[in-house]
Structure 1
Amino acid sequence: MVQRETWATRTGFILAAVGSAVGLGNIWRFPFVTGEGGGAAFLLVYLLFVALIGFPAILAEFVVGRKTERNPVGALMELGGSSWKYVGGVFVVTGFVILSFYSVVAGWFIRYFLEGFRGSYANLLTGYEGDAAIMFGELSTGLDAFFFHTLFMVITIGVVALGIRQGIELAVKVMVPAILILLIGMAVWAFTLPDASAGYSYYLSPEFSIIADNWATLLPAAAGQAFFTLSLGMGVMITYASYLGEDRNLTKDGVTIIGFDTGIAFLTGLVVFPVFFSAGITEPGDGGAGAIFISMTEAFATIGGGHILGLLFFGTVAIAALSSAISLLEVVTAYVIDEKGVERWKAALGMGGIIYLLGVPVTYDLIFLDLLDGFADGILLVFGALMLVILVGWITPEVAVKELEKGIGDLGGRGQAWIWAIRVPILLVLVITLYLGVDGYVGFLTGDFADWISTNL
Structure 2
Amino acid sequence: MARETWATRTGFILAAVGSAVGLGNIWRFPFVTGEGGGAAFLVVYLLFVALVGFPAILVEFVVGRHTDRNPVGALIQLGGDAWKYIGGVFIVTGFVILSYYSVVAGWFIRYFLEGFRGSYAGHLEGYEAAAAEAGAPAAELMFGDLSTGLFAFVFHTIFMAVTIGIVALGIRRGIEVATKAMVPAIIILLAGMAVWAFTLPDSGAGYEYYLSPEFSVIADNWTTLLPAAAGQAFFTLSLGMGVMITYASYLGEDRNLTKDAGTIIGFDTGIAFLTGLVVFPVFFSAGITEPGEGGAGAIFISMTQAFADISGGHILGLVFFGTVAIAALSSAISLLEVVTAYVIDEKNVERWKAALGMGGVIYLLGVPVTYDLIFLDLLDLFADGILLVFGALVLMILVGWIAPNFAVKELSKGIGDLGSLGQAWIWVVRIPIIIVLIVTLALGIVDYVDFLTGDFAGWLDENL
TM-score bracket for this pair, using the shorter chain length: over 0.9
**Correspondence for 1:160:** 167
Q: What amino acid is the match of 1:156?
A: T
Aligned equivalents of 2:295, 2:153: Cα separation in 1 = 20
In the alignment, structure 1 residue 380 sits paired with structure 2 residue 379: no
- Specify which of 257, 274, 278 is matched with residue 267 of structure 1: 274
**Correspondence for 1:361:** 368
Aligned equivalents of 1:165, 1:121: Cα separation in 2 = 39
- Specify which of 337, 345, 352 is matched with residue 352 of structure 2: 345
In the alignment, structure 1 residue 281 sits paired with structure 2 residue 288: yes
Deviation at 1:210, TM superposition (A): 1.1
Structure 1 runs, 4 residues or longer, greater than 3 Å off: none
Deviation at 1:119, TM superposition (A): 1.2
In the alignment, structure 1 residue 126 sits paired with structure 2 residue 129: no
Aligned equivalents of 1:121, 1:320: Cα separation in 2 = 22
Deviation at 1:124, TM superposition (A): 1.0
**Correspondence for 2:113:** 114
Aligned equivalents of 1:410, 1:86: Cα separation in 2 = 34
Aligned equivalents of 1:409, 1:391: Cα separation in 2 = 24
Deviation at 1:126, TM superposition (A): 1.3
SS at match of 1:151: helix
Deviation at 1:349, TM superposition (A): 0.2
SS at match of 1:284: coil
Q: What amino acid is the match of 1:384?
A: G
- Specify which of 427, 435, 438 is matched with residue 420 of structure 1: 427
Structure 2: runs of 5+ lacking an equivalent: 132-137
- Specify which of 314, 319, 324 is matched with residue 326 of structure 2: 319
Match runs of 1:156-195 below 5 Å: 156-195=163-202
Aligned equivalents of 1:204, 1:38: Cα separation in 2 = 11
- Specify which of 440, 446, 459 is matched with residue 452 of structure 1: 459
Aligned equivalents of 1:42, 1:446: Cα separation in 2 = 26
- Specify which of 250, 253, 276 is matched with residue 246 of structure 1: 253
Aligned equivalents of 1:328, 1:38: Cα separation in 2 = 30
Aligned equivalents of 1:120, 1:256: Cα separation in 2 = 39
- Specify which of 223, 230, 241 is matched with residue 234 of structure 1: 241
Aligned equivalents of 2:232, 2:365: Cα separation in 1 = 23
Which whole-Å deviations, capped at 9, do the CAs of 1:222-280 have from their partners, x for residues lacking one? 00000000000000000000000000000000000000000000000000000000000
Q: When the two structures are superposed, what TM-score results if normalisation uses the length of structure 1? A: 0.99
In the alignment, structure 1 residue 396 sits paired with structure 2 residue 395: no
Deviation at 1:127, TM superposition (A): 1.6
> What's the % identity of the aligned pairs?
84
Aligned equivalents of 1:70, 1:98: Cα separation in 2 = 21
**Correspondence for 1:9:** 8
**Correspondence for 1:22:** 21
**Correspondence for 2:30:** 31
Deviation at 1:382, TM superposition (A): 0.1
**Correspondence for 1:144:** 151
Q: What amino acid is the match of 1:279?
A: A
SS at match of 2:221: helix
Aligned equivalents of 1:452, 1:214: Cα separation in 2 = 28
May I ask how many residue pairs the two structures share in their alignment? 456
Aligned equivalents of 2:173, 2:101: Cα separation in 1 = 24
Which whole-Å deviations, capped at 9, do the CAs of 1:50-78 have from their partners, x for residues lacking one? 00000000000000000000000000110
Aligned equivalents of 2:273, 2:3: Cα separation in 1 = 36
Q: When the two structures are superposed, what TM-score results if normalisation uses the length of structure 2? A: 0.98
Aligned equivalents of 1:396, 1:55: Cα separation in 2 = 19
Aligned equivalents of 1:443, 1:283: Cα separation in 2 = 24
Deviation at 1:144, TM superposition (A): 1.0
Aligned equivalents of 1:82, 1:128: Cα separation in 2 = 57
